[in-house]
Each structure stands twice: as C-alpha cells, then as structure tokens.
Chain A
Amino acid sequence: MIGDWVGFSVTKKMKASTFAFVVLLVYSSLLRIGADELDQSQQTERISGSAGDVLEDDPVGRLKVFVYELPSKYNKKILQKDARCLNHMFAAEIYMHRFLLSSPVRTLNPEEADWFYTPVYTTCDLTPNGLPLPFKSPRMMRSAIQLISSNWPYWNRTEGADHFFVTPHDFGACFHYQEEKAIERGILSLLQRATLVQTFGQRNHVCLKEGSITIPPYAPPQKMQSHLIPPDTPRSIFVYFRGLFYDVGNDPEGGYYARGARASVWENFKDNPLFDISTEHPTTYYEDMQRAIFCLCPLGWAPWSPRLVEGVIFGCIPVIIADDIVLPFADAIPWEEIGVFVDEKDVPKLDSILTSIPPEVILRKQRLLANPSMKQAMLFPQPARPGDAFHQILNGLARKLPHDSSIYLKPGQKILDWTAGPVVDQKPW
C-alpha cells in the first residue's frame, strides 16, 4: 500500500497537493483579513455616535521615538530647584518626558527612530508667585539644540524636521507672555523646521506654526477625580465662571486684557441671576462646575485656558469666547459639536445666544461630554492610560508619518539661520 503510494506519479500528486495547499493558504489569509475587517467595523460601530474613533487609536507600533540624553541641567536640576513645576498648567513638558522614557514607542536605537524628542524644561523658571518667566527659555533651547546637533548627527541631517519639542508656554515657542512682544520675536528661528507641541493655538498667528500639535494645558487628574459629585445632582447653575475680569496689575484701564471680552462679560451680566460669575476662589470650584450647565472659557492674556479641560471633565458645556482659537487635538475631537463658540463681538448678546440653543442640542452636547474617551483625552494621568493626552500626542505625530524625503538635507546644505533673533538670546546658557 505504502509502496504503491510512494511509487505513484509524484509530480502529479505534488502539483495537486501544492495547488490545494496554496488555495488553502490564500483562503485562510483571506479569512484572516476578513476577520480583521469585521473586527474593525464592529469597533467603529460600537463607538459610532461618540467623538470619533480617532481618539481610540493606539500609537504603539506606528512610530518610534528616540529620547536624547541631555545633561540633567536641562531637566532634572531645574525641577529640583522648583518642584512647583509639577503642578502648574505647564507641567505637560515634564510629564511627557517621563511618559516617553517608559513608553513602548521609545527606541534606544536612533537609526530606526521616526521622531526625536529633546527633554528640555523651558517653562520651569518660576517667579515667587508661580508664573514662569520666559526670558531665559530661548537661550536654554538654543543651548540644548547646539548640544544635540554637535553630539548626534540627526539634527544636522534634517535640521530638526523630524524632531519635536514640547513648548507649553503662553505663546508657545515665541517665548514671551506679552502678545506684542511674542509676535515681534516670532518662533525661535532654530525651531522653524521642527514640530512643536504647544498649548497655544490661534489661526493665522505668528506663534502657531503649520503642523503644530495643540495640546490641552495640564490639569491635575487626581485632584479633579477627588472632587467628583454624584451625577444625578441636578444642574441648577445656568452659566458659571470664576476668574479675573480686569487684570488690575497689568492693565488697569481694561481693554488690553482678554481684548476687553472678560470685562464685557462682567459689565453686561454682573447682575444677571443666570450668570454665576465672580472673581472669588471658592473651595467648591470643581463641585460648582458639576452643578452648572455652561462654563465660560474666555481668553485671558492668551486664548487657551485650563477651564476647557475642567469643563470637559466635569460635564459642563464650554462656552469658548476666543476668536480664531485652535483647540487641543482639533483633528480628533469635534469641538463644534461639544462646545459653544461665541465671537468676542457677540459677548453683549451672550444670554440670548445661550438661551436660544434648543434643549435637544444641549442634551446632546452633554451626552457627548459624558463620553469617557473624551475626558481621558484631555488628561495627563500618571501612570499613562490608553486614550489619554500622551497617546493623542503620539497619534498626532504618527499621523504626520512617513516623513517626506525632502526633509533630508543634502550634505553641506544649510537652511536654518543660527544667528537670527535678538542678540540677548545668543548668549550661551
């Protein structure tokens, strides 16, 4: 029997069996692809009606990040000098560094990296009040870039086009808190080709570069979680706001601070029972936000504000009063459907605008806000969780891949001007 089998025409059998085998292989691979597609469609179906499935993308495996080892004077020593940097709204730069050090996207081999990260804490030089001074930041950044360009060849290869930096300050990489000065300085010349991850975003503004990733300001996740109240507490405050209307120290006449928008809110609605607005600092701030339907997020000296994050976390519909603002992760989060946008010139009509929104729309916005993936995307939790702001930043970076081959400079080609900028900034740090 066996002999018969062996002595059979081998080629013919082989052909048939290989053919069958190939067919089987193709069929099984098709099945697998089919299964994947089915899986995908089920996933999107499950979260359809939520704020886009882009929020739930997993960046692991889609990009590789190499973290430069800078001497600790650029990061750790600064933090040791002032630990308040871990809690203020610019703390994203520090937590991003920590996240990348232990993340699976990190690679120790720079040759295979898609993106390069420079951990320099430029927003950690704090006044006694806790506000960061940006005067030394350009020098610090320049010194860091000089270091990485001389010790590794990757900066010179592209002059920074595949590098990214976290610059969470008021006006991003313009490194100034006053808007006029910031516009005058412009983005630091050395960062002209790099990708900036910043909180500032305003359309057609000097300090927002094409291709930047806008992130939310840091808000302490544990502190906010600890102030949650039961969700069936009825929302009885119509509009809520706590903060300055006039910055008496820097702009006593009014009209500069917030382009007069906050002052306008105060003057028009200070005696309106629907508007719970004042300059107090209550201890029940987070609880009050959970009892409010609308939370005002007007611009201040800069258009962005941590109130947006707080509003999203506490389910209070954000009323954004900042012309041309670019909100965090605008390509992943449909802000138009979640928040209410009011032009600065329409502030005197704010009450009519808010009461003319149909209740179904308001209920829908609240349902969208209740989506946990939205809340996760606004936070920087430690340890990192899937879908949080760290992952959204990585998703944003991954969406910019693959790099265009034109970013690689020919040998000897130089684009950046290392001597541009004020003379003061050229001094070594």
Chain B
Amino acid sequence: MKLWMMQQNLNNRRNNNFRVNGILDSGVEGVYKSPPALFYFVLHGLFCLFSLVMGFRFARLIIFLFLSTNNNSTSITDYLYNTTTTPILTSPTVITTNVANGLTLDSPPATPTLQNPDTVSNQSTPVSTGSHIIVGRHGIQIRAWPHPDPIEVMKAHRIMERVQAGQRLLYGIKNPKPLIVITPTYVRTFQNLHLTGLMHSLMLAPYNVTWIVVEAGGPTRETAALLAKSGCRTIHIGFDQRMPILWEDRHRMESRMRLRALRVVRDQRLDGIVVFGDDSNIHSKELFDEIQSVKWIGAVSVGILAHSGNPDEQGDENSPLPVQGPACNSSGNLVGWNTFNPLSHGEKIGDNETVLPMKLEWAGFVLNSRLVWKEAEGKPEWVKDLETLENDGGDLESPLSLLKNGSVVEPLGSCGSKVLLWWLRVEAREDGKFPSGWIADSPSEITSGKKVGGTQEHKGKHTDKTG
C-alpha cells in the first residue's frame, strides 16, 4: 500500500499535472523518515533507470508480478494487453483520492513526451455523475480467432442477395416481360457446344423464358435430351427439310424456320418479347435487360466475329470488327442501318473460308410478340400479317420485311452504341464424325487420331469437300 502511495507521489512530482491531496502529501514526508521507505524509493529509482535504458516499463512488469499473487486475477499478459485502464478526471472538480486495491499504470518513464496525467484507480466507487467512458489508454481487443467465420460469411452473402433483390424491385425493371426465344437448329458436331452456351445464357437471364427450338429434319432425341436440361419451358418443333450445305441456302432456310416458330407464337398467343437467339451466337446478360424496354420492334447492335480459318488469307476483311445495327443521328433517332455486303461465293458449311452474315441478321432484332398475333389491341398498322409473308415467298432476310415502314424500329442499347450480342458461325467439317452424345465408347477412338471433326487440323489439305 505504501509503495503505491510512494510511487504516486513521485510520479506526481515529475508530471506536475496532478493536484495532490493532503493525504498524499503527508506520505511524502514519511519517505525520508523510515529506512524501508527510503529503500523502496531507491528501488523505484533504479527501476526507472533500468526502464530508461531498456526501453520498456520494467517497473510496471515487476509490480504486476508482485501484485498478481495478491489478486488471483487473469494472467499477466491478459492484463497487460486486454484490460481497459483506469479513469482520469471526468470533471474538473477535485479528484477523488480513493487509492483502492486496484493497480495503477504508471506513465511510462521512457517516453516523457507523452504528457499523461497520472491516474488514480477508482474501481471501487465509480463516479456517479460522470460517464463510464474512461479517457486514457485502452487495450486493443482481439478475439481468440480473429479470422473469418464461414457461417457468418454465408449469412452475409444471403443478406447481400436479399438486399440486391430488394434493389432490383425498387429501381430495376418493374413488371418484367417474359422472353420468347426462337432458335433454329439441327444435329451436327457442334450442336451440343452451341446449344449449351445458349441454354446457359437463357438460364442466367432473370426472366421467364419460353424457348421455341425449330429443328431441321424433324425433332431428334439428342436435341430433346439437351433441351431437357434447360429448366425452362421448351417447345420443340420439327421442320421437314434437312439443313442445306451451302451457306446462302442455309440462311434462307433458317429464316423460314423462324417464321414457323412465329406461327407457333401466333397460334398459341404467347405473350412476351421475341428474341431470335441463334444457337451459335453469344449473348450478353445485359441484352436481356435492355430489350425489356422495347415497345413493338427494336434493334440492337450485333458484333460480327467473322472467323477466318486460314491466316494466309488475312486481308482487308480482318480489319476492325464490323458491327451490324441501327445507326442514329445526334438526337437519338434512327436514320439508317450499319451493315455490310456478304461475300457471295458459295461457301460450304465447315469450310475454312470466311463466313459472313447477311446484311442484317435476324438476331439483331427483337419483337413484341403481339405484333404477330392475329388480333391484338394496340397492334400497329405498319406490320404485315404473317401469312401474307409466307405466301408471298418474299425476301425473308430480316424482320424488316415484316414491316411496311422501316423507320418505326426502336434502337436499343444506347442507340446501337452498345454491342449486346455477337454473331459467330463456327462449324465442324461436314464429314467429321463425333461420338454420339459426346460420350467416347472406347479410349482408342480418341488416341488413334481418328478425325473427330476438327477444323484446324489439316491446314492446306482441305481438298475433301464431301457432302
């Protein structure tokens, strides 16, 4: 007890910040009177010198060791690092002088620049009018395992999902319309590849999707098996002719297949936004968000990834990526179309020649399904009837032929400046063989080097052009 008061006094004297009470004053005179007190005084001085030299609070350590035997409290390190310190003045009035059993933390003698006023432990009688918040050094509380808890992380992710769903509800598109995706397809080597890609894009879109798949040559089990994995409503139709080999013919047949699908939309009065999703195209997620704003017919920009198999033939065709889509003037109105003329050689499918799209691909257009209904309220009069289109056998190159007047198309995606989908035609060689269902029956088929329908394997040797 006396030791404490001694130390108090000495620290007080040194710092001059502490208003000493009379009790402590009397203690000071006692120092010079009793030899044990003098001894403690000298000891304290030695500790201070030692601390100055060593650079840490030696006296503090010794005192804690001394008093931990008395206190039976937590371990020393806990005390040193984890407890809060003692209070100092919380009111400018007279300081309480209850030198209780608690420990005082001396101001460090090694760092005299820190002007810490001295502290009086007052744990027995808390200051009634003051706050319980103590000013001074506090311990930094670290929990036992300061690393992420996986359960908390999962909970937080679920909270984030809820918050984001709430945001979508508040700021996103209200009343999202369902999508009707029309895809012409046929069984071939790369069908699995393309349809899987398209299927995954549709599964990611946060809208109701009705997928109309028109298959050339009649519906097959392979295609049906693929579609079953999609999880959305699918309508699988067969088209009676087989897919032709020449690209030009193929384009025309695809258009007819799409019209067949539109007939289904009309007959079943499907409601939503019609998207012409070709199976070999690549769609971005923003496309589906952007087309929600279409009223009747809209157009987006399509990036044309013209694939040239042979690097030797790189010429002017491989200069900047062409984009097909609406062109606007500065006030955002549609003034024309960005297109380019396709090469008109008769390339066969699977060739390593450049395959280019038609002037305006169907994929770049989206329709409100009510345009093709027989009767719909608000249906504009600039749309032709579906049946007249088929019977005419007219030019079915793009949905523009559905319209009497091409200027009513709404440009989407910041007036065509955002490319929201990419057109690509990559197919295997026509004579390539592939294991059905992409399940290899025996490992020998793969290792023997049998042609499995690659495209780049035989450069310069593409002489076989069998059908």
B163 at the A interface (CB under 8 A): yes
Interface residues of B in 142-157 (CB under 8 A from A): 142-143, 146-149, 152-153, 155-156
Interface residue stretch chosen among B86-94, B302-310, B369-377: B86-94
Distance from B154 Cβ to chain A, minimum over Cβ atoms (Å): 9
Task: Verify B160–A232 contact, CB threshold 8 A.
Answer: no
With A183-B92, A231-B167 as contacts: A202 and B160 at CB distance below 8 Å:
no
Interface pick from B37-45, B125-133, B237-245, B359-367: B125-133
Chain A interfacial residues counted at CB < 8 A: 50
Contact B92 A184 (CB under 8 A): yes
0/1 interface trace, chain A 247-270, chain B, CB 8 Å (1 if under):
000000111100110011001110
Complex Cα distance A234/B159, Å?
Answer: 12
Contact segment of A53-61, A93-101, A349-357: A349-357
A-B contact pairs, 6 of them (CB 8 A): A206-B92, A238-B160, A268-B142, A268-B146, A349-B143, A352-B149
B133 with A180: CB separation less than 8 A: no
A354 / chain B contacts, CB cutoff of 8 Å = 156
Q: Is the CB–CB distance between A186 and B92 below 8 Å?
A: yes
Contact A273-B148, Cβ < 8 Å, known A235-B164, A236-B160, A348-B142: yes
Evaluate whether A232 and B168 lie within 8 angstroms (CB atoms) in the complex, with A180-B88, A366-B163 already known: yes
Say if the beta carbon of A345 comes within 8 Å of chain B: yes
Q: Which residue of A lies closest to B151 (CB)?
A: A355
Chain B residue, CB-CB nearest to A363: B166
- Is A351 in contact with B148, judged by CB distance below 8 angstroms? yes
Contact A263 B92, beta carbon cutoff 8 Å: no
Contacts of B163 in A (CB 8 A): 235, 293, 359, 362-363, 366
CA distance A273 to B152 in the complex (A): 11
Chain B residues with CB under 8 A of A180: 88-89, 117, 135-136
* A255→B149 contact, CB < 8 A: no
Would you call A114 an interface residue if the criterion is a C-beta within 8 Å of the partner chain's C-beta atoms? Answer: no
The answer to whether A271 has its CB under 8 Å from any CB of chain B is: yes
**Cα–Cα, bound, A398→B160 (Å):** 42
Distance in angstroms between the alpha carbons of A251 and B163 in the assembled complex: 39
Residue among A179, A185, A204 making CB contact with B129, cutoff 8 Å = A204
Contacts of A259 in B (CB 8 A): 133, 138
Q: Does B27 interact with chain A (Cβ within 8 Å)?
A: no
A355 CA to B92 CA in the complex, in Å?
42
Instruction: Among B131, B138, B140, B158, point to the contact of A267 (Cβ < 8 A).
Output: B140
Give the shortest distance, in Å, between A255 (CB) and chain B (any CB): 4
Q: Does B139 contact A (CB under 8 A)?
A: yes
Tell me the complex Cα distance, A185–B131, Å.
17
B residues 400-431 in Cβ contact with A at 8 Å: none
Task: Write the nearest CB–CB distance from A350 to chain B, whole angstroms.
Answer: 10
Most chain A Cβ neighbours within 10 Å, of B133, B158, B167: B133
Chain A residues at the B interface, C-beta cutoff of 8 Å: 179-180, 183-186, 202-206, 230-232, 234-236, 238, 253-256, 259-260, 263-264, 267-269, 271-274, 293, 323-324, 345, 347-349, 351-352, 354-357, 359, 362-363, 366
CB distance from B412 to the nearest CB of A (A): 17
A residues less than 8 Å from B90 (CB atoms): 183, 204, 206
Nearest 5 CB-CB pairings of A with B = A204-B131, A348-B143, A232-B171, A355-B155, A260-B138
A183 near B141 (CB under 8 angstroms)?
no
Q: Is B172 part of the contact surface with A, judged by Cβ < 8 Å?
A: yes
A355 with B159: CB separation less than 8 A: yes
Q: Does B137 contact A (CB under 8 A)?
A: yes
Say whether A274 contacts B152, CB under 8 Å. yes
Which one, B89, B147, B162, B172, contacts A272 given CB within 8 A? Answer: B147
In the bound complex, what is the Cα–Cα distance between A323 and B135 (angstroms)?
12
CA distance A232 to B174 in the complex (A): 12
Contacts of B143 in A (CB 8 A): 268, 348-349
Question: Smallest distance from the beta carbon of A212 to chain B beta carbons, Å?
Answer: 16
Q: In the complex the two chains form, is B159's CB within 8 Å of A324's CB?
A: no
Q: How far is the CB of B233 from chain A (nearest CB, A)?
A: 28
Q: Could you list 13 further interchain pairs (A-B, Cβ under 8 angstroms) beyond the known A232-B168, A235-B164? A: A183-B91, A186-B92, A203-B131, A205-B131, A232-B170, A235-B167, A256-B138, A259-B133, A263-B140, A268-B141, A268-B143, A293-B160, A359-B162
